[in-house]
Homo-oligomer: A and B are copies of this chain.
Amino acid sequence: MSHLLDETDIAILNHLQENGRAQRNTIAELVNLSVPSVSERMKKLEERGLIEGYKAILNSKKFHFDITAFIFVQVDGSENYQNFVEKASAEEEILECHSITGDGSHFLKVRTKNTGSFESLLSRIQAWEGVSKTRSNLVLSSFKETRAIPVEHATELIKS
């Protein structure tokens, strides 16, 4: 079995997690490879699906999206789950939708402009088929918010 990551791949992935528009010559210098070699490695990491894509990260404060909140939702009747998930996917203010263990059947992370828009989102959700209960926690401040994966911990994928 080939397809294992070496230190160079890890360095490339970590650099791209930080700077998704990094140029190949910058990375080449960082990892002591030629530019075409870096290109080839990046292409493979993309083709293997290890890199899902690249995204610009916008500053939500500057866009006046001031409320971040988490909402536990109790959806009764698993026949309503599909509908719930579809509705949640269509709401732009809902960033995440998970099915979870413990209290509530679903869990949402939402971002709205203000308490008013939060309130109206919440009442929209409460009107969805099967939704019997919600519990919200508003975010006062955030100290860390990332999606970076500590690649070097993926021991199964790492060579030698």
Contacts and interface: CB of A to CB of B under 8 A. Distances in A.
A141 to B, nearest CB: 5
Q: Give the number of copies in the complex.
A: 2
A153 B141 CA distance: 22
Contacts of A52: 57-59
A2 to B, nearest CB: 15
A35 interface: no
A92 B62 contact: no
A16 B143 CA distance: 25
A144 interface: yes
A157 B63 contact: yes
B144 A89 contact: yes
Nearest to A146: B95
Nearest to A102: B137
Contacts of A149: 58, 60, 63, 65, 111
